[in-house]
Amino acid sequence: MEQRKAENTNDLAFSKEISSRLGGETVTLCYQCGTCASSCPVARITEKFNPREVIKMSLWGEKKEILSGDAIWLCCSCYNCQERCPQRVEIADVIYALRNIAIKEGNVPNIYSEFAAGLLNEGRIVPISKFLEKKRPEVGLPPLKPAGVDALRKILSATGFDKLQKKEEAS
């Protein structure tokens, strides 16, 4: 993570926003012991994600950096950190809360938008390619049936997922 500038851009209301969300309630308990970081399999392989730093920046109110950055999307949800946190900070859930805020604010990485579009349009996250259709009978698999897109859309509409996605497409 780059050195943070001493600008007065911190939004301390941000930690309030996080802690008022489902999953984010425990964020203020963090005392930066770093058990989460040393528990994290992702942090070991990339400097782009460190759960301790995500929590710290959240508490500092570095809203812009958190929401527009890659870090929160790199958590693999193994919940190791959450299991071992001595302050019972629900770290993985805090990160979900952050992702929800990011989506609400229109910050969705392309790959997630593509998944979402696929889900809404085809009922599948991974599109069926010509290659796949050709390969299936060769290994003795039946052709794929069309997904129940209508039923799925109803669910996605009930949860508000479709609106979020439209917002994303519009922006």
* Binding site residues, another protein, CB under 8 A: 29, 31-35, 37-39, 43-44, 50, 52, 80, 84, 86-88
For the bound state, the minimum distance from the C-beta of residue 87 to another protein, rounded and expressed in Å, comes to: 5
For the bound state, the minimum distance from the C-beta of residue 65 to another protein, rounded and expressed in Å, comes to: 17
141: number of Cβ within 10 Å: 10
Nearest residue (CB) to another protein, 48 versus 104: 48
For the bound state, the minimum distance from the C-beta of residue 34 to another protein, rounded and expressed in Å, comes to: 4
Pull the structure tokens for residue 107.
Answer: 């910050």
Residue type, 102: A
For the bound state, the minimum distance from the C-beta of residue 145 to another protein, rounded and expressed in Å, comes to: 45
For the bound state, the minimum distance from the C-beta of residue 38 to another protein, rounded and expressed in Å, comes to: 4
Nearest residue (CB) to another protein, 10 versus 38: 38
Nearest residue (CB) to another protein, 40 versus 101: 40
d(CA 84, CA 17): 25
Question: Measured in whole angstroms, how far is the alpha carbon of residue 143 from the centre of its chain?
Answer: 33
Nearest residue (CB) to another protein, 31 versus 131: 31
Residue type, 57: M
Nearest residue (CB) to another protein, 85 versus 156: 85
41: number of Cβ within 10 Å: 10
Pull the structure tokens for residue 5.
Answer: 């500038």
What is the H or E stretch that residue 71 is in?
none
The number of residues making up the chain comes to 171
